[in-house]
A and B are shown apart, each in its own frame.
Chain A
């Protein structure tokens, strides 16, 4: 039996090259923080980052200089306010300029769905009456050949690598996840390479009728990474650390404070277990 089990470090080293298009998906729930931190540790540059809600993990990757381009639809700290590192990159080009490919949630959902289906573009009754098409030439109009209705078209999203975090996988690399599933299934099927970190590896997955199971033959690599979504959460494992999301506002507000935090907790730690241990020391 071939195994897809590997370490997160090896998965990132093998599959993430400077300049490629990477999506770390998970809508509030199951955000692959450990994977983002490992990309930062390995010093990847010029990435085209894709994510509906950049969240804290892309704030960190952008602030650490990993990204040249961002495809997104809502760039805030949910319930708290700004992503200060994203803002600094857009408003002041720090640490360098960031190209924006800005959409709405409905548009990104259509683009991932098209990517998953192998279609060239997604179609929706969207972007009506908004200035977004005026600033993003990748949002275009097409006409329904049957009714004549004008519709919006967005190019399919096909990330070179999609990272997900999930509850569990088996030894063959079948992956099961449940709870709020966002656009993870679409981002997984749209990807050329799919890497999944999981809370636990089991001998055999229990049958999960209607639960999302990503079959082993479409999963490139699985890494056991307990706590890998923290400070996001994993249903039935641990809660979202809303207090951390609130504290991040102050940590990321100034460049120096942000760099100090990233140096101490991400660059100076060997892996995600060490990252969590470093937070426990300062708790």
Chain B
């Protein structure tokens, strides 16, 4: 059996959710790795959109920022940023949006703004960026975040990006274009919204993880689906492709940049 890390399993699990040809709005970090792993394995025609306006990009190494030159060099086209948000996202032309956050609640609402009160925060986080409108208008979203009782919380300190709001169909009463979070990929397994209540419940675990561990890592009383699947472990091809991608990325980011002039 291949040895793998939880980060690798999260990346592989997310990449398997993507299909060939889908139009995918990518975030930096684990989502970027997952989307490019999909492109390099089972989804060669996936259309990756980074919010810098690089559309249909095929980077050889993962970007550090959302706007590295590599993304523009390998893009099918580069469009102005207002067009990204109005013509692509708001108009409903994005199939999948990836989101991360510091906190998520049981209805998939996300906080990436502040820990503590807004006017006197204990920790000021970066804020919304593209996330609020990705959450609203991508046809579906996948959320990736590591689970602790401080990240999977009963009550958000601030709602940056909407999931299912208060649940029970509340999202459907708004003018959001998208269906909301379909999968939350954590480092123990996958949560998906339950019918009717829209509450996230445990539907799949990584191999070797118990339901008790998942419950302990969740800040609310976690509902568990009647039939919890065990996700197939990463294949040798997935692992080799992902590790080679990370190795190329490390090498590229460590290369000294010549100062201009």
Q: Is the CB of B136 within 8 A of A243?
A: no
| In-complex Cβ contact of B176 among A53, A129, A185 (8 A) | A129
Q: Please, how many angstroms separate the alpha-carbon atoms of A230 and B258 in the complex?
A: 10
Q: Please, how many angstroms separate the alpha-carbon atoms of A239 and B122 in the complex?
A: 36
Asked whether A226 and B261 contact (CB < 8 A) given A73-B128, A125-B90, A135-B118, the answer is yes
Residues on the A chain within 8 Å of B81, using CB: 27, 52, 105, 109, 181-183
- Most interface-central of A179, A244, A279 (chain B CB within 10 A): A179
Stretch at the interface among B154-162, B201-209, B221-229: B154-162
CB distance from B127 to the nearest CB of A (A): 5
Say whether B171 faces chain A, with CB atoms less than 8 Å apart: yes
- Most interface-central of B68, B109, B123 (chain A CB within 10 A): B68
CB distance from A137 to the nearest CB of B (A): 13
Q: Is the CB of B174 within 8 A of A112?
A: no
Say whether B85 faces chain A, with CB atoms less than 8 Å apart: yes
Stretch at the interface among B36-44, B49-57, B237-245: B49-57
CB distance from B70 to the nearest CB of A (A): 9
Q: Is the CB of B161 within 8 A of A130?
A: yes
Say whether A128 faces chain B, with CB atoms less than 8 Å apart: yes
Q: Is the CB of B127 within 8 A of A73?
A: yes
Q: Is the CB of A243 within 8 A of B124?
A: no
Q: Is the CB of B159 within 8 A of A130?
A: yes
Q: Is the CB of B89 within 8 A of A106?
A: yes
Q: Please, how many angstroms separate the alpha-carbon atoms of A191 and B210 in the complex?
A: 58
Residue of A nearest to B128 (CB): A104
Residue of B nearest to A179 (CB): B72
Q: Please, how many angstroms separate the alpha-carbon atoms of A105 and B89 in the complex?
A: 12
Indicate the size class of the contact surface on chain B.
35 or more
Asked whether A86 and B67 contact (CB < 8 A) given A104-B133, A109-B85, A276-B261, the answer is no
Chain B 55-95 per-residue mask, 1 if CB under 8 angstroms from chain A, else 0: 00000000111111101100000101110111001100000
Asked whether A78 and B65 contact (CB < 8 A) given A106-B133, A239-B257, the answer is yes
Residues on the A chain within 8 Å of B159, using CB: 129-131
Residue of A nearest to B117 (CB): A135
Say whether B2 faces chain A, with CB atoms less than 8 Å apart: no
Say whether A76 faces chain B, with CB atoms less than 8 Å apart: yes
CB distance from A83 to the nearest CB of B (A): 8
Q: Please, how many angstroms separate the alpha-carbon atoms of A160 and B7 in the complex?
A: 46
Chain A 167-178 per-residue mask, 1 if CB under 8 angstroms from chain B, else 0: 000000000000
Q: Please, how many angstroms separate the alpha-carbon atoms of A103 and B109 in the complex?
A: 18
The dominant DSSP class at the B interface is loop
Say whether B126 faces chain A, with CB atoms less than 8 Å apart: yes
Q: Is the CB of B259 within 8 A of A227?
A: yes
CB distance from A229 to the nearest CB of B (A): 8
| In-complex Cβ contact of A128 among B125, B131, B175 (8 A) | B175
Say whether B130 faces chain A, with CB atoms less than 8 Å apart: yes
Q: Please, how many angstroms separate the alpha-carbon atoms of A273 and B260 in the complex?
A: 10
Q: Please, how many angstroms separate the alpha-carbon atoms of A19 and B50 in the complex?
A: 35
| In-complex Cβ contact of B160 among A80, A132, A150, A279 (8 A) | A132
Residue of B nearest to A147 (CB): B175
Q: Is the CB of B69 within 8 A of A132?
A: no
Residues on the A chain within 8 Å of B6, using CB: none
Residue of A nearest to B163 (CB): A129
Q: Is the CB of A87 within 8 A of B124?
A: yes
- Most interface-central of B71, B78, B82 (chain A CB within 10 A): B82
Q: Is the CB of B136 within 8 A of A128?
A: yes
Q: Is the CB of A109 within 8 A of B171?
A: no
- Most interface-central of A124, A180, A185 (chain B CB within 10 A): A180
10 sampled A-B residue pairs with Cβ under 8 A: A78-B65, A78-B66, A83-B126, A125-B175, A129-B161, A130-B161, A182-B67, A183-B80, A227-B261, A240-B69
Which 6 A-B residue pairs are closest in the complex by CB-CB distance?
A28-B67, A129-B162, A76-B126, A227-B260, A74-B129, A78-B65
Interface residues in chain B, defined as those with a beta carbon under 8 Å from any beta carbon in chain A: 28-29, 51-54, 63-69, 71-72, 78, 80-82, 84-86, 89-90, 109, 113, 118-119, 121-133, 135-137, 158-162, 165, 171, 174-177, 253-254, 256-261
Beyond the given A91-B124, A240-B65, could you list 5 further A-B residue pairs with CB under 8 A, ordered by the A residue number? A28-B68, A53-B129, A126-B90, A183-B82, A226-B260
